[in-house]
Each structure stands twice: as C-alpha cells, then as structure tokens.
Amino acid sequence: MGFFEKNREQLIERGIDPARLPPGQYFTERFPVLHAGDVPDYGGDLSGWSFRLFGLVGADKTLSWDELMALPSADVTVDIHCVTKWSKFDTVWTGIPFDEVMKLTPIDPAATHVMCHSEYGFTANIPLEDCIGTDERGQPRALLAHHYDGQPLEPDHGYPLRFFVPHLYFWKSAKWLRGLELMAGDRPGFWEENGYHLYGDPFKEQRFWGD
C-alpha cells in the first residue's frame, strides 16, 4: 500500500470521512510553512500599517489597523488544502467576513474578480463570487483573517492579516494582506504567472496551467 492510500486508511480508522480529502492530498496534524521571499517584521507596532480597498468600487478606502479591527468578525472551522499536497482538517480561524469589508463602499456591477495585494508585491487572483456569501454550513466563504486557533497569526502564517478562502488551494489565501482590488475580468497573480492554475479547485486537482 502506497503512502497516500495508507494515509486515507488512517482517516477511516479515526472515523473521518475520506471524502473530505481531495485527490492527491494527504492529511497532517502539522501546519507546514511555505512562502516566497522574506517574512515582514512590523516590530510589534501596527500604527503605520494600512489596508486599501480600491479598483471598481464607489470610492477608494484606506483603513488603519484599528479601523479594520472595528469591523465585525466571525469564526470559521474548515479544512485547508495546500497545493504541495498536504491537508489539515478542522482548522479554526477568526477574521472579518469579506461581505463586511464590501459594505464600506459600493461595488461596481462590472467587477468580477478580486486581486489580493500583499507585502513585497505578492498578488493572488480570486473570482468575486468565490468570496461573497456563506458556505453550506452558514460560514463566510472568505475572511480577512487575523487569528488562527484563538491566537494572532504567527509571522510565518501571515501576521497581521491574511486573506482566507479555504475552498481553494491555500496559496490563494494570501499572507500579509495590504489591499483588495476589485477588477473587471481576471488576470493572473504572482503564482499564477509562474505556472499555477488561475482558479485552484483542490477537488479537481487544479494545481497548474492545463490541469
């Protein structure tokens, strides 16, 4: 029996439905750290930090950390799936629902996609319809996450803010988020320009261009 088959057998032994695990994935209790480039160091001071909402919106908005944290938050419990083939079940996140952020300014009806803008020029593209509303459990489909498992995000996992859209491969949940751009039409982000799939559905194994 190969590694992936044995891993699924372990799920069954633990009473976990193996259908929760996308094809080509293995489950882990760990939370591996993967990113490109350096980890930002804010020195524990977010007084100069800001978040921008721009593009096809009624008016550009720039918020301080305190202003962003004043928005309503929600908790979600979900499985996450990394394109490097690990999955982690029942992870707990706290953040601002995407819908709450979008209440800050009207969205142009022409907007179809969101581009996440993060530190060091990192970007990730996501269809707007994948960010709005709730999932089948009534949880927000996308968050601006600031806590994981009851604690502020660790620097390696995106402190202070990370976009969180767990039904797509985890590279779409961009770390160190600094802004959201509403766009008419799609365009590739950082990893997509380097060969990753434009959409990234784990259950369809949309890892790379052509998948």
The CATH number of residue 150's host domain is 3.90.420.10
What mean pLDDT comes out for the span 115-132?
Answer: 96
pLDDT on residue 53: 97
Domains identified in the chain, total number: 1
Which residue, 8, 148, 149, 25, is CA-closest to 87? 25
Cis peptide before 160 (omega within 30 of 0): yes
pLDDT on residue 37: 72
Average pLDDT, the chain: 94
pTM exceeds 0.75: yes
Q: Measure Cα distances from 202 to 138, 168, 191, 197 in Å.
A: 21, 6, 16, 11
pLDDT on residue 38: 82
pLDDT on residue 6: 85
Instruction: Assign 204 to helix, strand or coil.
Output: helix
Residue 171 lies in a domain: yes
Interatomic CA distance for residues 13 and 85, integer angstroms: 21
Q: State pLDDT tens for residues 45-67.
A: 899 999 999 999 999 999 999 99
Residue 100 lies in a domain: yes
pLDDT on residue 108: 96
Q: Measure Cα distances from 39 to 24, 130, 155, 175 in Å.
A: 29, 27, 7, 10
Domain of residue 173: give its range.
49-77+90-204
Residue 29 lies in a domain: no
Residue 31 lies in a domain: no
Residue 113 lies in a domain: yes
Instruction: Tell me which of 20-24, 29-33, 80-84, 94-98 is least confident.
Output: 29-33
Residue 184 lies in a domain: yes
Residue 28 burial class via C-beta count within 10 angstroms: exposed 0-12, middle 13-18, buried 19 and up: middle
How many percent of the chain have pLDDT more than 90? Answer: 83
At 1, the pLDDT band (50, 70, 90 cuts) reads low
Residue 22 lies in a domain: no
How many percent of the chain have pLDDT more than 70? Answer: 99
Residue 44 lies in a domain: no
pLDDT on residue 32: 75
Q: State pLDDT tens for residues 152-185.
A: 999 999 999 999 999 999 999 999 999 999 999 9
Judge whether 136 and 146 are in contact, CB under 8 Å.
Answer: no
On the question of pLDDT at 33 being above 90, the answer is no
